[in-house]
Amino acid sequence: MVVRERAEAVLRRLAGEHARLREDQWRAIEALVVDRRRVLCVQRTGWGKSAVYFVATALLREGGEHGPTVIVSPLLALMRNQVESAARAGIRARTINSANLDEWDEITAEIHAGAVDVLLISPERLNNPDFRDGVLPKLAATTGLLVVDEAHCVSDWGHDFRPDYRRLRTFLANLPERTPVLATTATANARVTQDVAEQLGDALVLRGTLDRESLRLGVLDLPSPAHRLAWLADHLDRLPGSGIIYTLTVAAAGETAEFLRARGWSVASYTGQAEDADRRAAEQDLLDNKIKALVATSALGMGFDKPDLGFVVHLGAPPSPIAYYQQVGRAGRAVEHAEVLLLPGVEDAAIWRYFASLAFPPEEQVRAVLAALSTERPISTQALEPVVDLRRARLELMLKVLDVDGAVRRVRGGWLATGEHWVYDEARLRRVAQARTAEQQAMREYATTPGCRMRYLRECLDDAGAGDCGRCDNCAAPLFGSEVSDAALTAAQTFLGRPGVEIAPKKLWPTGLEAVGVPLKGRIPPAEQALPGRAVGRLSDLGWGGRLRGLVGPDAVDGPVPDDVSAAVVEVLKAWAHGDDPWPRRPVGVVAVGSRTRPLLVGSLAERIAAVGRLPLLGRVVPTGPSGAGGPRGNSAQRVRALHDAFAVPGDLADALAGLGGPVLLVDDLVDSGWTMSMVARLLRRAGAPDVLPLALAVAG
């Protein structure tokens, strides 16, 4: 057939002279180019899904299709890879994303002139007001082929649901009749596949085997974070080529990279909090094999394409086997053997619980936001924060879902209510939450199964052809043992045992406080600010995190500060006094934050510090509001509103503060938002304290 011959020729330009189309690749291309159908490809990583849409694009353009292929991709990393891949096949690709705003007009002009074959956009662009209203309608009307990459994100049953992807329903509805559509993913079980196919409408579903013959899976059960770091330091040289070390938190990524560099390994860290230029440099160093490993969070989960990636190691388990399969699928795409190792930790479950807490809010919070919105005057996300007790990221996620559901609309300047009737689908949300809990249990079972690990993952993805792989540590003899050297373990224990993180002072009040009756705005006067403070560690730290969660976590029982933690506080104070960034003046007294939840812990900590430092214990700031008034709040505005007038300086403490010749140490157990320390420091400063140095056991996050 002439069309297939042309398709094979394009593939050879794309992937080399020996490349040949797989049968399902050809079926997808034929359905798109000849039949102008909608197709869902559920195929393993490395199968060649991108070849399908690049070949289809070339054939459509050769056949006279003037409109570009529009690819909706989740990450800039994938976009950069795709632009380079397209160029090899003579396909002109451009991207519109947040990193190239100054090029938008030029790219739009090129699209209208027919000079762009492929346009890559992020799902977030679909609901950017300027793009949605100014670019999207014309783009939808002229699109030659729509490609939805990582299509499992469309489904809220999927492990990585993204509300912006649901905006594709509008895009699909505005496409001209018989415009071909391709959705691709490597990580969709039967439920997600059905959900995505239904949203596409009358789709040809091509689902292949999910076996990855190059991957050798294994699990190592090591007793502590120090053992896991030591194992890496000892065994990285046995892992082939270069690879990725995944961690569950930003803090763990930073700690792991720092430790491995100290042990002589060339590694870089990659997180969503890093600057884009730093992430791009780290990606390129891994692509060029200049580093042994990239230590990354799930920010690198989708879109990074390095065919010769030799290994993937997880320090901590992702919350579902499907997410795990997706991440390990980065390895072994163009090499015969790649090593995949999971090093789970007891702290994994606590991290899963934290991320689960960011799910869609309860109905009363959603209704409060809807009631606050106007149908005529837009309100910004920032201005909504004092209205509802939600962190910024969770509030924005909720608004995106409401936008997709038609209850609100994003416009320039913020959000508008549409006035449309909206139903809170509690039953569906409960079912999704139950599915997440089941996925977490399945991930625990993956780590302990005596059976084939690849078979287990494939069965979690409803792969009907799943069978024993013959390669994993359960099918064959384990390739790696759990032994670590004394030198590496000692170094890891010393590294992780270092206490001390900075507590940054607040300098600006949250916006919108006056609207809720709190007369504070703008900059916090310097005379009312705290100085930079210190804590033993973060709750997400590999080293101190677990110990501190046992003292200040939601299930902790109040009691006196333990000796080992007290000793760590002393080390923090020593470093603070004599380190590279010492306090400006030695404190002359200690004040405790009055605590209803952990009075024994905070009180004994203040007493220990006063005794060790030979400082007077001046007293405690007393909670005055109703029980729970000072508890954690979702965002800064709500936190300040709850804390305003929630504490008082008793008369004897006020007398002690008068005429002090130096700072006071303000002692608390946990710094979450940082506003308790800031508000109490403000009280002490106004009562006469020259300066306030916050000191806590732990920092959340």
Find out whether 542 and 225 touch, Cβ atoms under 8 Å.
yes
Find out whether 78 and 301 touch, Cβ atoms under 8 Å.
no
Q: Determine whether 462 is exposed, middle or buried from the number of CB atoms within 10 Å of its CB (0-12, 13-18, 19+).
A: middle
CA atoms within a 13 Å half-sphere pointing along the CA-CB vector of 63? 18
pLDDT at 647: 94
The DSSP code for 459 is H
282, containing H or E segment:
helix 276-287
pLDDT at 80: 65
Find out whether 126 and 132 touch, Cβ atoms under 8 Å.
yes
Residue entry with tokens 């398709």:
7
Could you tell me which of 103, 102, 94 has the C-alpha nearest to residue 71? 94
Residue entry with tokens 């916006």:
511
pLDDT at 300: 81
C-alpha to C-alpha distance for 696 and 548, rounded to whole angstroms: 11
Could you tell me which of 534, 530, 537 has the C-alpha nearest to residue 582? 534
Q: Which residues contact 676 (CB under 8 A, 6 or more apart)?
A: 593, 630, 639, 643, 668
pLDDT at 78: 60
C-alpha to C-alpha distance for 203 and 146, rounded to whole angstroms: 13
349-to-319, 326, 443 alpha-carbon distances in Å: 8, 20, 10
Find out whether 150 and 74 touch, Cβ atoms under 8 Å.
yes
CA atoms within a 13 Å half-sphere pointing along the CA-CB vector of 328? 31
C-alpha to C-alpha distance for 418 and 403, rounded to whole angstroms: 9
DSSP string covering 156-208 = TTSTT--HHHHTHHHHHHHSPTT--EEEEES---HHHHHHHHHHH-SEEEEE-
Residue entry with tokens 């009691």:
559
Q: Give the chain's residues under pLDDT 50.
A: 630
Residue entry with tokens 């991290």:
351
Q: SS3 for 60?
A: helix
165-to-18, 43, 69, 131, 407 alpha-carbon distances in Å: 36, 20, 17, 15, 17
- In this predicted model, what pLDDT tens digit does every residue of 270-328 receive, in sequence order? 998 888 889 889 999 999 999 999 999 988 855 577 889 999 999 999 999 988 998 99
- Would you state the structure tokens that stand for residue 294, as one six-digit string? 């990239």
Could you tell me which of 403, 365, 401 has the C-alpha nearest to residue 384? 365
- Would you state the structure tokens that stand for residue 327, as one six-digit string? 């991440």
Could you tell me which of 2, 151, 137 has the C-alpha nearest to residue 74? 151
Q: Which residues contact 580 (CB under 8 A, 6 or more apart)?
A: none
Q: Which residues contact 324 (CB under 8 A, 6 or more apart)?
A: 314, 317, 318, 342, 443, 446, 457
- Name all contacts of 92-97 with Cβ < 8 Å and 24+ positions apart: 92/116, 92/117, 92/118, 93/117, 93/118, 93/119, 93/120, 94/118, 94/119, 94/120, 95/119, 95/120, 95/121, 96/120, 96/121, 96/125, 96/131, 96/135, 97/121, 97/122, 97/125
3-class SS shares of the chain: helix, strand, coil, % to 5:
45, 15, 40
pLDDT at 1: 60
pLDDT at 96: 80
Q: SS3 for 93?
A: strand
Sign of the CA dihedral 15, 21, 26, 28? negative
| Backbone dihedral angles phi then psi of residue 231, each to the nearest 5 degrees | -60, -45
